[in-house]
Structure 1
Amino acid sequence: MKHHQGFSSLELLCSLAVLALLVALAVTQTGEALERARIGRVLSTLTESILVSNRAAVGSGATSVLCPVGADGLCNDASDWSGGWIAFADHDHDRALSDGDAVIGRYPAPGGGLRIYSNQGRPRLVLHPQGDSAGSNLTFTLCGPHGSASRAVISNGTALRGERVVGALPPQCQRS
């Protein structure tokens, strides 16, 4: 009786096909986990910037403002915060960063293809010395490049709530 050693071509091809499938699944899962981690990091940075600004407003008695920055490094009136944002003590009460205002922090663009949007009509978050914010609740939507999304909702009392978006993506996150 003859004994064969090694693998046949068919066995080798089947093993390689299974291995390729497992690698593809692992890469997909790893990419999604990394995207969720990046979104979590940005949510954490956003939360920190709001809490520090609120503390500065209460401690100094001056209104604090957070706003998205444009290419000039100053506040813009867009709902897209993907280019980063700035927090400052608004000593002259004009809701725009000017010479008399103190910068609390500059927060760079998140990178990695992540995009951040505030709800329409709320291009700034204004925090009063009493510890509250003006206007209605502010919702930030964070969109990942691979189809994941999360939201951060800030109430008038500056309570923060984060939630992962499940199901259909928000309109801001849908690519055209």
Structure 2
Amino acid sequence: MYAIRSDLSHPVPHACRGLSLIELLIVLAIAMLLFGVALPAVSGAVAATHAMQARSALMASYQLALTGAAVANSRTTLCPSADGESCQPGSDWSQGWIAFVDANADRQRQAGEAILSRQPALSHGVHLRSTRGRTHIEIQASGSVGGSNVTFTLCDARGAAHAQALVLSNKSILRLDAANAEAIAETCAP
């Protein structure tokens, strides 16, 4: 007859054993500690990247509107837009914006007016507002911007301490600046 061997009679070599519960808990504790240290740094970098993307998108849309005005020899308009087709009232640009050839200069996109640029809603935690009363940016065929200077205040998930301002002069000069306290309070409110 055959003899049945028990696995318990032959000890498993040390190299073939798995981790003990204590060893597994120590590895897990070290991993959680490293994750806890790295997470704030990574989330800050992600927030900074989202803010930079929003700033770059606004600058690119403005440049397209400026070029479009010169090429079409017509006024172009840049305005907030949640649907990517029409302008919306207000100074909150966080839901997106459009730039279009405003052939009839009414600051509202009509069916026949070409869209030069569409920006969808900004990343979660990124907020962009223009100066109160400046809900549209009108760019003349000459390249000048109608009205007074407009300031865009940009805030991300890092909070008010990292808020930025993009200032567009009526001579079409776009520059980065420090945001003022009133604009920060309005844009970066939780």
Per-residue Cα deviation, 1:11-63 (whole angstroms, up to 9, x for no partner): x98xx58x72x543321111111111110111011101001110110121110
Residues 108 and 67 of structure 1: CA distance in aligned 2, closer, same or farther (over 3 Å) = same
Pairwise CA distance, 1:153: 1.0
Identify the residue that residue 57 of structure 1 maps to in structure 2: 69
Residues 163 and 23 of structure 1: CA distance in aligned 2, closer, same or farther (over 3 Å) = farther
* Match of residue 129, structure 2, among 106, 113, 117: 117
* Match of residue 144, structure 2, among 128, 132, 135: 132
Which structure 1 segments of 5+ residues have no match?
Answer: 1-8
TM, length-normalised to structure 2: 0.75
2:80 pairs with 1:68? yes
Pairwise CA distance, 1:98: 0.5
Per-residue Cα deviation, 1:90-132 (whole angstroms, up to 9, x for no partner): 0111110002311111111112221111110000110001111
Matched length: 162
- CA RMSD for the aligned pairs? 2.7
2:171 pairs with 1:157? yes
* Match of residue 99, structure 2, among 78, 87, 109: 87
TM, length-normalised to structure 1: 0.81
State the structure with more CA Rg: 2
Identity of aligned residues (%): 31
Identify the residue that residue 3 of structure 1 maps to in structure 2: none
Asked whether the 8 Å contact 2:152–2:165 carries over to 1, the reply is yes
Pairwise CA distance, 1:77: 1.7
Which structure 2 segments of 5+ residues have no match?
Answer: 1-21
| 4+ residue runs over 6 A deviation | 166-169
* Range with bigger deviation, 130-139 or 24-33: 24-33
